Chain A
Amino acid sequence: MSGSGAIVTCAGVSKTYGEGVARVEALKGASFAVGRGEQVAVCGPSGSGKSTLMNVLGLLDVPTEGSYELLGIDVSALGEPGRAGLRSRVIGFVFQSFHLLGARSAAENVELALLYSAVPRRHRSAVARETLARVGLAHRADADVTTLSGGERQRVAIARAIAHGPELLLADEPTGNLDTATSDQVLSVLDDLNTGDGLTQIVVTHSEALAARIGRRLDVLDGVVTDSAGVAAAGRADGG
């Protein structure tokens, strides 16, 4: 039970869409574990099943087969209310295209992270400002997000993903829409959160450079997840 600190434990997780000839196996028996404080890169070509994997890990989608435990909680036993509860407390999402709400300030966007855990508004506001300060955007807290640069927007999105103190950060190509310089800024924020706060991160990327920078790597090809950590990970998953 060396993997008792696992945040994520997948065993034989499969996801199929459609039926008959239209049946698509987006994920085929993924088995791996991610320990607390790990930073993991998920690599693979478009359509390989990365997004499906991230949706399943982020509790936005339900696997057709297999078991997925998040923080030791068997997620397949939960209904949508429980999954939504875990999303609001435990998971933070960062998207390639930021997905911020226009016509709102940076702080108001970050506050949304606490909206669905019924945190009173003034606390949300205070937390949002503190979190923006952590990503170096204290001075932009009241700026409309449409006036921010790409790098700033992604840092606002990161602030939103961590404001509620999640245990798992899921980032889907966080630098995909950014140039090299701003990418480095964003990545260093993510690195700080990992090394400084021990925040577990799973980062989808096309970039070999980014993948190389991250220690561990999961390769996804045609729905098959291959763990560069190899047999050890499978063993941990079985142990769970």
Chain B
Amino acid sequence: MGETPVEHAEPAEAEPGAGVPAPTSPAGPAATGHGATGHSASGRVTRARRRRRAVTLRMGWRGRREPTRADPSRLRALDVVHESWLELSRRPLRTVLTGLGVALGTGAVIATQGLVSTVRYQVSDEFDAQLATQVEVRLRSAVGDEPVGAVATPDAGAGFPPSAGDLDRVAALSGVEGVAVLRDSQQEVPVGLARVTDRTTAGEAAYVRGVDAAGLEAVGARITGQAWSSWHDATGQRVALLGRRTADELGLGEVRPGDQVFVDGLGFTLLGIVEDGGRARGLANGVVVPATATGHFLMSEERDRVLVVTAPGAAKDVEAVLPVALSPTDPERYSAYSPTRSDTLRRAVDGSFHSLALALGAVVMGLGLVSIGNATLTSVLQRINEIGIRRALGARPRHIAAHIVVDAALTGAAGGLIGAVGGLAATLAVTAQQGWQPVLDPRLPPLGIVAGALVGAVAGLYPARVGSRLQPTEALRRE
């Protein structure tokens, strides 16, 4: 007890300066009180107090000197997080259920986003390779770009198919790799098969497709047997190919020399079978004859078209000059159309998908906010006693508020994490099942966690206000 009298003297000296709230000596009784009498724990505290200045984040008191006894109490930001971690990690199920709304919101946004970008990638992969390199030209009158009155010009019918010279000019355009004239009959016509060995088979109904020899090559049609040549085109020879589907309907496996096909009663020499129409899918379904030999049938002017295959990236340029190249004297006659225009449409579709996903996510996040806010408020009301204890131990109202907001924010972050994992899993499951290459934005999962934490923090504001306004004496009375 040797030091005790010295300590007793110290507050007395401070008293004349009445009103000054603290003894001036920083190493006052707080530092030496029990240490002097062998209380090793408080000795440790004193060392800790000196050391902490360098390493703590402060909440409240910001001075650089050693705190006197009446300086505000302090709470390190890291400790707030650790306290919330203790609270939440020991009640994992409650934490997860509380954060479920946020989990669903985050998951919905991430899954939708992942699926939309994956699908878009798939579509562009397939779509663009084919369609960014082709332009279709139709008679403007057939497309309906012109008033009906203008369609009935005397030479409207004479516009299709374009003459060989016109087509040559198109083929000579820079960026053009192939030109195909394609025509279709208005209706299906009876088609029968006459083979050298067999009798004529029963007729099937099929469309007549007109195409030129260069066109078959340009569209990349895969043919077994043989195609015709430009000579057949020029002379309007009655030769034909059968689409694979029509051949199957007629029970024809492979073409033998001498096989004939009767189309609407007219005999055509059968040269082969179109296994795959390439860019002109319709060629695999129907009877394919030279475009110049279609005069025997009623053709659909609406479906008459010239398909121009271009080098990659050239479609737009070719599209711009095609009508002039085909008909220098009357470019208005033709209308060119590049399917890459559907990019715009697709973007619009994607855009509405995205806004839908975001709206859905926002609604679910709103529910998550309410659910976390509600659960946090309930938890505050259940832990009133704990709030009283913390106040007695030196917590200030703002410390209580910080505990509550961080509790809620961590709950939200946990929800965001679960949602991110769930959303990714859903995306991967769907893409794996579809055999797609998943396309994911790597920023989304961390963003989901941050968004969850923010939603939680906002949800914690009102409970924090309630909790921090409790009177400690009241709070300690509750059990």
Q: Could you tell me which A residues sit within 8 Å of B by CB distance?
A: 1, 4-6, 36-37, 51, 55, 58, 60-61, 71-74, 77-78, 80-82, 84-90, 93, 95, 97, 99, 101, 103-104, 108, 112-121, 123-124, 126-127, 130-131, 134, 160, 162-165, 167, 196-199, 240
Contacts and interface: CB of A to CB of B under 8 A. Distances in A.
B89 to A, nearest CB: 10
Interface in B1-36: 1, 4, 7-9, 11-12, 14-15, 18-19, 21-23, 29-30, 33-35
Contacts of A87: 73, 391-394
B393 A118 contact: no
B479 A97 contact: yes
Given A87-B73, A104-B86, A118-B75, A93 B45 contact: no
Interface magnitude class on chain B: 35 or more
A130 B41 contact: yes
20 contacts: A37-B4, A61-B471, A73-B69, A78-B70, A81-B72, A84-B73, A85-B61, A87-B393, A87-B394, A88-B393, A90-B30, A95-B476, A104-B90, A115-B395, A121-B79, A123-B48, A134-B41, A165-B34, A167-B30, A197-B38
A163 B41 CA distance: 7
User: Secondary structure at chain B's binding surface: helix, strand, loop or mixed?
Assistant: helix
Given A81-B60, A104-B86, A115-B395, 6 more contacts: A4-B11, A4-B12, A5-B4, A81-B396, A87-B391, A89-B394
Nearest to A163: B41
B11 A71 contact: yes
A50 to B, nearest CB: 13
B45 A85 contact: no
A116 B74 contact: yes
A116 B73 contact: yes
B33 A121 contact: no
Contact of B37 (A85, A196, A240): A196
A119 B49 CA distance: 6
B8 A5 contact: yes
A144 to B, nearest CB: 9
Interface in B269-318: none
Given A61-B473, A134-B41, A84 B395 contact: yes
B67 interface: yes
B346 interface: no
A80 B396 contact: yes
Contacts of A197: 34, 37-39
Contacts of A5: 4, 7-8, 11
B392 to A, nearest CB: 5
